[in-house]
Chain A
Amino acid sequence: MAANPMYQFNVYRIGPEIKINNIDISFTNASLFMVISSLAILIIFNLGTKKSIIPNKIQLLAELSYSFISKMISDTAGSKAKPYFSFIFSLFMFVLFCNMFGMIPYSFTVTSHIIVTFVLAAFIFLGVTIIGFIKHGLGYLKLFVPSGVPMVLLPLIVVIEIISYLSRPISLSVRLFANMMAGHTMMKVFGGFVVSLGIVGGWLPLGFSVALTGLEILVAFLQAYVFAILTCIYLNDALNLHH
């Protein structure tokens, strides 16, 4: 079944089956790539903490990422979002590295699984909602009542606002998951064409495959960025209630 473009998303156990209270928490290939991504982030950024006035390449990378994300947060969520910097930094780096490791052939893309992205998005959603209620109390519910709306339309608008608010975790998780899955499936399909068309006709899909690889690397970065920036925007709603 190696030719099946969905085969790459299969999760399988690595090592023994681990069960706690009849719940299966075995180490799988997905877990392996989560660990690899986290370790890569830790190693790279730990190498980037050297104390020197003129930074070396890894240090420059770490510091540029630091200021990039710091600027992104202050641009979208303002200065109040400073305490959440390390969470958003970890989130962005985790998603980015999982996406990027997924670009290596025969590897596994952690973020192409809806459950992973949904857990992240749900955590963000819950966290943002809790922060909103802590900061504004019940006044946070004003988020659903935009100012300057005629009274006649208000019930409709409130319903729409509540639905859009509740659909945030779904849209956030499905966006990342679908982008990753679609891109990898497409690459697999074109890769299959290369094999089936052989040396005569395989060149065209091969070219497509190469172009798609570039596009997918771009998408991998972009989706991590979008994921992080949407988190910032939700955080901004919770921290600075505009309505």
Chain B
Amino acid sequence: MLKKIIFKVLALSLVFTYSAQSAESGGMPQLNPEFWISQIFWLVLTFGLLFIILSKFILPKISNNLETRKSQILENIETADKQREETEKKVKEFDKIINDTKVEAKNFFNSERQKVLDDINNKRLSLEKDIEKEIIKAEEEIDQLKKTSQEKVTKIAIETSSDLVKQLIGEDINKSSLSAIVEDLSKKEMEKHNGI
């Protein structure tokens, strides 16, 4: 029994030492100091050179570039703002001019229309006056005609009736008696007409 236990312990320890040895042989190369000095040396060399070149030559250029770009952009924005203001001013001026011309055109149109309307009115009025005059004249003429036509009709009637009597009877008849008869008749006719 004791032998067995001792054997087991020995076997186990053997296994452990073996595994420990294998771990050591394949362990972390980081902990092997063989190349530590070399790594430190090359690190200092490369990193030092990198730092010097970056800080002396490359980074100032980049920062310079960034700054010039920033200032240029600001400048451009400023000029753009200025130009925009100018354009706004110009647009306002343009609008004003257009409005003014519109008002002017309207005024001109209105005045011209008024003129034309006045003209038409005047012409119409004068025409109406003329027409009225003409009408009055025509009425007067008609009136006169009416008056004269009655006398003439009676005259013609007397003459024709005297001619008819002469041809029928072959003798002249007193004109005054004839005219009296004709006038009487025409009066009767007129009364007939007017009476209706």
Contacts and interface: CB of A to CB of B under 8 A. Distances in A.
Interface of A: 1, 4, 6-7, 9-11, 23-28, 30-31, 34-35, 37-38, 41-42, 45-46, 48-49, 51, 53, 59, 62-63, 66-67, 85-87, 89-90, 93-94, 110, 112-116, 119-120, 177, 181
Interface in B71-89: 72
Contact of B37 (A24, A27, A49, A51): A24
24 contacts: A7-B26, A9-B29, A11-B32, A23-B37, A24-B38, A26-B38, A27-B42, A31-B39, A31-B42, A34-B43, A35-B42, A41-B50, A42-B50, A42-B53, A45-B62, A53-B69, A90-B50, A90-B55, A93-B54, A113-B30, A115-B40, A119-B40, A177-B30, A181-B28
B46 A34 contact: yes
Interface in B12-42: 26-32, 34-42
Interface of B: 26-32, 34-44, 46-47, 49-51, 53-55, 57-59, 61-63, 65-66, 68-69, 72
Chain B interface, >50% SS class? helix
A120 B48 CA distance: 11
A144 B117 CA distance: 105
A38 B50 contact: yes
A87 B63 contact: no
Contacts of B51: 86-87, 90
Given A10-B29, A31-B42, A48-B62, A26 B35 contact: yes
Given A7-B26, A67-B66, 11 more contacts: A11-B34, A11-B39, A26-B35, A34-B47, A42-B50, A45-B58, A49-B61, A63-B66, A86-B54, A87-B51, A112-B30
A89 B68 CA distance: 21
Contacts of A90: 47, 50-51, 54-55
Contact of A9 (B30, B44, B58, B59): B30
A12 to B, nearest CB: 8
Contact of B29 (A11, A59, A177): A11
